[in-house]
Amino acid sequence: MADCKYCGRSAGIFSHAHKECEESHNQGVTILEGAIRSYFKGATPMSEIVRVANHVKQNNYISDKDRAESSSKCIDEWTNTIHWPFHSSHLDKIKEFITNIGVSYQDINGSGALDRLCQKMIRGFMAEYFTGQKPLQRSLQISQQVMRTLPLTVQKEQEAYYEMLGQAGKNFLKDGLMSPSEQQKVDEYIGTLGLSLINLPPSLKGTPIEEMGQASILSDIQAGRTPRYNLQAPIILGRGETAFWCYNNVTMFQEKVRREYVGRTGGFSFRIIKGVTYRTGGFKGHPVETSFMENMGVGSLYVTNKHIIFMGQMRSIKVPYSKIIGINPFSDGMEVQRDGNNVKRLVFQGFDCTFILNVLALIN
Ligand SMILES: [Zn+2]
């Protein structure tokens, strides 16, 4: 015999709840969520929500856990409907709700609903900085005020800042380049918030943030400056050598027998031309045909002002730019052709090579 999880009385051998108790509970959830939605729409005062919540607790077996879950669900729905610009009324509304709903902040935030709301608001204030409507200090001040009601971990706070940075980057790079004023905005933002454009957490690889970092470095190279961002690279560099970028999880292939392979697209090398265009993912072409290429292992590919350096677990190789006579770009890598007799072609796979092509165009 099992007891009904709602009323606690015996529910029969194969059942853990009475059908009518279950129905009553579901009805209670519907009533409570309807009331909470109405509160967030501004149609019902909080005192009424408290009354409804207590009513369904007594009459519909709505536990505190149910109350927290319904709150969380309705907060997520509300988060999806509100849009920047945010006002203090938004903050007041959630504050009043959290204070009076009768379950703990942690329980309401069990699935991160309050974190998501806070992150959305922060992104909105940061958008006002990027669109020139507020100075950064003001956006930051308001964000901190919001975080006093909706506290975030440092990681979640940074996540929100990075996400906005990514959105700004997408806009800034629409024309392929960052203008000096856009660059300045980004520099102030990452400097003030303690972010980085080039030493990024793995989750941000391949995002517009990374492209912005690369675009900044390219504009520095073009202007003859040392790049403003410093790559932390565990490689030994030569005199006057600066590391610009590092791609992780790159696979190196080396030509085994020197002959053309079937299925190659194009067959021409990238012409190294002057001037920078910045668009990634522009190369069509299939992943390189590897049947005649020997897999030399996975490693990190560094781009410096003098070399491309592959540091693998099995093999490492350093190719000076002066020895590169051509590059075949692929959508997910590149083939490097080197000058000299009997030199084997190299293929690096697992990244977008736009940045390297631009570095070569500027340095050669
Ligand atoms: Zn029951």
The verdict on 198 and 251 lying in the same domain is: no
Contacts of 247 (CB under 8 A, 6+ apart): 300, 301, 303, 350, 351
- Report the C-alpha gap between 13 and 83 in whole angstroms: 51
- Report the C-alpha gap between 95 and 101 in whole angstroms: 10
The verdict on 185 and 262 lying in the same domain is: no
Q: Which one, of 220, 262, 268, 263, lies nearest residue 242 by Cα? A: 220
Mean of pLDDT values over 306-313: 94
Q: For residue range 241-254, list pLDDT tens digits in order.
A: 989 999 989 999 98
The verdict on 199 and 297 lying in the same domain is: no
pLDDT at 48: 98
Contact 33, 72 (CB under 8 A): no
pLDDT at 219: 85
* Residue 294: CATH number of its domain: 2.30.29.30
Is 341 a member of any domain? yes
Q: For residue range 216-229, list pLDDT tens digits in order.
A: 898 888 888 888 88
How far does residue 13's CA lie from ligand 1's centre (Å)? 13
Residue 328 zone, left/alpha/beta (φ > 0; ψ -120 to 50; rest): beta
- Confidence category of residue 285, pLDDT binned at 50, 70, 90: low
Q: Does pLDDT of 293 surpass 80? A: no
The verdict on 211 and 264 lying in the same domain is: no
Q: Does pLDDT of 45 surpass 60? A: yes
> Range of 204's domain?
155-222
Q: For residue range 186-203, list pLDDT tens digits in order.
A: 999 999 999 988 878 778
pLDDT at 257: 58
Span between the terminal Cα atoms of the chain, in Å: 82
- Report the C-alpha gap between 351 and 250 in whole angstroms: 7
The verdict on 210 and 253 lying in the same domain is: no
- Report the C-alpha gap between 316 and 297 in whole angstroms: 9
How far does residue 11's CA lie from ligand 1's centre (Å)? 7
How far does residue 31's CA lie from ligand 1's centre (Å)? 19
Q: For residue range 65-90, list pLDDT tens digits in order.
A: 999 999 999 999 999 999 988 999 99
The verdict on 310 and 270 lying in the same domain is: yes
Contacts of 158 (CB under 8 A, 6+ apart): 193, 194, 195
The verdict on 177 and 247 lying in the same domain is: no
Percent of the chain whose predicted confidence (pLDDT) is above 90: 58
Q: Does pLDDT of 338 surpass 90? A: no
The verdict on 310 and 263 lying in the same domain is: yes
Identity at 37, one-letter amino acid code: R
The verdict on 217 and 247 lying in the same domain is: no
For residue 113, what is the enclosing H or E element?
helix 113-130
How far does residue 1's CA lie from ligand 1's centre (Å)? 13
Is 217 a member of any domain? yes
| Residue 162: Cβ within 10 Å count | 23
Is 145 a member of any domain? no
Is 273 a member of any domain? yes
The verdict on 277 and 182 lying in the same domain is: no
Q: Does pLDDT of 265 surpass 60? A: no
pLDDT at 272: 43
pLDDT at 283: 54
Compute the residue count for the chain. Answer: 364
Is 46 a member of any domain? no
How far does residue 5's CA lie from ligand 1's centre (Å)? 7
How far does residue 78's CA lie from ligand 1's centre (Å)? 33
Walk across the sheet containing 293-304 and list its strands. 316-320, 307-312, 293-304, 243-255, 346-349, 333-338, 324-330
Is 209 a member of any domain? yes
pLDDT at 141: 97
Residue 151 zone, left/alpha/beta (φ > 0; ψ -120 to 50; rest): beta
Percent of the chain whose predicted confidence (pLDDT) is above 70: 90
How far does residue 71's CA lie from ligand 1's centre (Å)? 24
How far does residue 64's CA lie from ligand 1's centre (Å)? 18
Q: Where a domain ends, among 172, 193, 222? A: 222
Structural domain count, the chain: 2
Q: State the pTM of this model.
A: 0.79
- Inter-CA distances, 280 with 36, 51, 174, Å: 46, 56, 11
Q: Give whichever of 13-17, 113-117, 297-301 has the largest mean pLDDT.
A: 113-117
Is 42 a member of any domain? no
**Long-range contacts formed by 184-191: CB under 8 A, 24+ apart:** 185/129, 185/130, 186/212, 186/216, 187/228, 188/136, 189/126, 189/129, 189/130, 189/136, 189/161, 189/165, 190/165
**Long-range contacts formed by 5-8: CB under 8 A, 24+ apart:** 6/61, 7/61
How far does residue 7's CA lie from ligand 1's centre (Å)? 4
Is 71 a member of any domain? no
How far does residue 102's CA lie from ligand 1's centre (Å)? 25
The verdict on 218 and 292 lying in the same domain is: no
- Report the C-alpha gap between 60 and 24 in whole angstroms: 5
The verdict on 210 and 293 lying in the same domain is: no
pLDDT at 317: 93
